Structure 1
């Protein structure tokens, strides 16, 4: 039988964590009789498509890497076939969330609230830059994920399947986070009980193994993707470990006490991060990597400016025993468990309030401003928010709300629902050439029927870098980290929790 062409895409089968078999009473768990449209997934189009749209350098590098990814597929399929089990399906699908962007948004403020702001800066730096670097490499090389079939893709979020495969951002995140936490563990080992040290060390090893091996087990990445992502995470850790303190001292210092000097530092911080957005590589397919970069860059802007402001005002310097300008005072022996929980609840509430209020306000205020000054930043196949008659009191979730019938992927509520439901998606492509050509015929008919419709791209990278939604997204996520710092500092003082 002839081989299935390169642009083969997977279809979806939904399974539960307790069984991979289908249930006769549940259409949700049955293999769909009509193949989903994955022919246009990022990285899966024909070579001519990439040759015509990529620069000679990018196309040549892609051509060098693609055989490696293809060669790994059979090895990964054999491995998956030998070790796959319903319990492991559930475990690795669930633990993949521990390196997701939403998980980090939930967890990263905690070190700040418990008096470990320097740890929070370390984690934010390696994660933010890791997302930016891996996203750029994904969009630069436009390499697909491993083929399905023969692999099954097991995931709780279909959002991640929209991205290119190389390199693995999960691996970069997991490597950097694990190394940062291990470094902190060894730094404070003399203050910890032996059992506590061993427990934390074992937890970090299990965390790292679950994420790295899980990407291979779930069919989301190959060895090449995981290895490269891990190297990126390792290099980011080395930079932060050896130069992080010097970098923060230079970045947060007031180089000039004049009014011009006070203005220059925050403007420099904003300009530096905005340049990263400006020079983000543009892919040739719809890939949401750009929007992830925008979100994390917004967080970095907020945290850097917040800590700079704390540094020059000394607001927290004399409120903690270390007299450190960015450390929120915390002492468990004094506060106890109940007060500690109240502090966390208060901090989470402040962040939720900010996101709830800021979205409608920002997307109500910004579009009229754009219209007034006459800014028109057209996007490819996309109508700008500023000139749309639809409501502006919304922000896209990971850019996927531009897809017809899409859900708010990336929102905290969706993340929590996905975890509590314990569902994962088992994706597999057409099983043979007959299935494949039936899908092609279906796509041809569907394309003819919808030829008059405008196809909206998924990725924010296709729009101008300073559209309403990009600027709004930056403000919202910068506000999240600002609220986690200044909002929490004011709140603890106001309610006597400091």
Structure 2
């Protein structure tokens, strides 16, 4: 397994058949049908990006992109749980003596707890499709990628997870606000809806503006998000009923289903970290469902306004104790991860070696098996959903200096590099055969050879010539600096040498070596985070005097 990853930079001459060799026909065929659409729209996206870019918009869309990540939600969701908004969100009131009343927090409860399910489904299924079809992001150049995240470009592009997350949350929120039993007053309702629409438009359009995705990525991602949001709104109450009414035997169905989903997650053709996020959120789903079921049966849980509510009342605690309560809760989460992760990485390798000898392991591509290493490094740079202690200073710096962002030009991942080489080879073959390129601006012919469109060359042609010509380059640009405008480039040489291909791979950001034990470790750690939030932090609050009387 490790040898494949090591030899990939020398596989440049396999740019065209790389995916046909790595993917079965039922995955390769739809990929080849969708790939021309991504190539077709790229010059148009670059042309629009060139026309509308300003320093202010660069910073706005680069910064708001963070609001569409699952990391953003994972950082703030625990705060909502500890402030009493952790209910599983019934569509009705469980307490008989209050069956004719509505609590104003119910809409919040519906939104906040199910938000975890929405995000988990969005991250998992968008990552599932990404690794299934292995479609690249639109080529850079001609696009310039504007981002504050160093890992986003390492993933496949189709579909857009940002769009999936934003649209799923927005659809669910709008459905709640328009529900007949909504208790939000009309003025607040209108403001919340406007904010929701502004949020989702900023995220989706920002993916296009920043050159991170194409129209196809965003449309399919948005469609997936809309389906997830609607499914959660329609089926969420029934699923919550199942959780709270289950016996311990019935609740075991949840971890079984999650483990099956993790196991059938497709193997990618390149070293893409999509699987890491899918495993993390599979763990989060497991932890929040089983943890909620367990906490609802405890004596500490409140049954009002809905079952499983973590005890909290602002009038009893006040601002200072509430802030201390949140800090203590966050420390519990970090303590769990800082202790559990290195412990598992230390004790699991011998177990995995024994299982490997028995033939019980089904290793994933790009993950080094336990028989190929002795220890796992302690300073692994993770692609984590929730930031670690070491990442907090950089996060604070980003918040204090939102005007800074990275503008990257050229391939940034293995998928980018293979697509760049494949596009060069495609144009070389078309040039040698005397055929016309599938340029989106003129030069196209009908089957009988007659031109479909004849017009003068425009800047769009220049953007089309840039496709597949770039070398990796990245620079930090300040908002007040001049925007790096794309300049017309000469048509590329159609016969790239082997050294050119090696150069493309040698300059891209390579994912670090990943170890087989990390899959189980990530699943356990992230399943434990919601368990700590729901079942560990509340007793700690009570013990140190930050609890509230019923």
TM interval, shorter chain, is 0.7 to 0.9
Is the contact made by 1:408 and 1:414 (CA closer than 8 Å) also made in structure 2? no
TM-score, normalised by the number of residues in structure 1:
0.77
Single out whichever of 382-391 and 174-183 deviates more from structure 2: 382-391
1:127 to 109, 119, 128: 119
Cα distance, 1:137–1:238 mapped onto 2, change above 3 Å: same
2:304 to 307, 321, 336: 321
Cα distance, 1:153–1:189 mapped onto 2, change above 3 Å: farther
Structure 1 distance, partners of 2:504, 2:46, is 32
Is the contact made by 1:73 and 1:147 (CA closer than 8 Å) also made in structure 2? yes
Structure 1 distance, partners of 2:501, 2:257, is 44
1:475 matched to 2:527? The reply is no
Q: Shift in Å at residue 208 of structure 1?
A: 1.2
TM-score, normalised by the number of residues in structure 2:
0.70
1:310 matched to 2:295? The reply is yes
List aligned pairs for 1:281-430, cutoff 5 A.
Answer: 281-311=266-296, 313-317=297-301, 319-322=302-305, 324-371=306-353, 380=365, 383-384=368-369, 388-391=373-376, 393=378, 396-398=381-383, 414-422=394-402, 423-429=404-410, 430=470
Aligned equivalent of 1:197:
189
Partner SS for 1:286: coil
Over aligned residue pairs, what C-alpha RMSD do you find? 3.5
Aligned equivalent of 2:216:
224
Aligned equivalent of 1:206:
198
1:106 to 66, 69, 75: 75
Aligned equivalent of 1:215:
207
Q: Shift in Å at residue 321 of structure 1?
A: 3.3
List aligned pairs for 1:139-154, cutoff 5 A.
Answer: 139-154=131-146
Q: State the Cα deviation string for residues 403-459 of structure 1 (Å, max 9, x = none).
A: xxxx99995555444444433221223255569978963544798x99xxxx98658
Q: Shift in Å at residue 135 of structure 1?
A: 0.7
Partner SS for 1:473: helix
Structure 2 distance, partners of 1:328, 1:187, is 26
Is the contact made by 1:367 and 1:392 (CA closer than 8 Å) also made in structure 2? no
Aligned equivalent of 2:238:
246
Cα distance, 1:52–1:364 mapped onto 2, change above 3 Å: closer
Is the contact made by 2:367 and 2:513 (CA closer than 8 Å) also made in structure 1? no
Q: Shift in Å at residue 383 of structure 1?
A: 3.8
Single out whichever of 288-297 and 103-112 deviates more from structure 2: 103-112
Cα distance, 1:284–1:374 mapped onto 2, change above 3 Å: closer
Aligned equivalent of 1:441:
499
Cα distance, 1:459–1:173 mapped onto 2, change above 3 Å: farther
Is the contact made by 1:302 and 1:480 (CA closer than 8 Å) also made in structure 2? yes
Cα distance, 1:134–1:481 mapped onto 2, change above 3 Å: same
Is the contact made by 2:68 and 2:166 (CA closer than 8 Å) also made in structure 1? yes
1:277 to 253, 262, 266: 262
Structure 2 distance, partners of 1:432, 1:246, is 60
Structure 1 distance, partners of 2:307, 2:136, is 46
Is the contact made by 1:172 and 1:230 (CA closer than 8 Å) also made in structure 2? yes
Q: Shift in Å at residue 150 of structure 1?
A: 1.6
Number of equivalences: 432
1:491 matched to 2:540? The reply is yes
Partner SS for 2:538: helix
Structure 1 distance, partners of 2:396, 2:14, is 34
Aligned equivalent of 1:31:
none
Is the contact made by 2:334 and 2:389 (CA closer than 8 Å) also made in structure 1? no
1:180 matched to 2:172? The reply is yes
Cα distance, 1:364–1:148 mapped onto 2, change above 3 Å: same
1:265 to 250, 264, 277: 250
Q: Shift in Å at residue 198 of structure 1?
A: 3.8
Structure 1 distance, partners of 2:223, 2:255, is 28
Point out where structure 2 has 5 or more consecutive residues left out of the alignment: 1-7, 89-110, 411-469, 471-488
Structure 1 distance, partners of 2:159, 2:235, is 25
1:166 matched to 2:173? The reply is no
Cα distance, 1:250–1:408 mapped onto 2, change above 3 Å: closer
Partner SS for 2:405: strand
Larger radius of gyration: 2
Structure 1 distance, partners of 2:170, 2:504, is 47
Cα distance, 1:265–1:394 mapped onto 2, change above 3 Å: farther
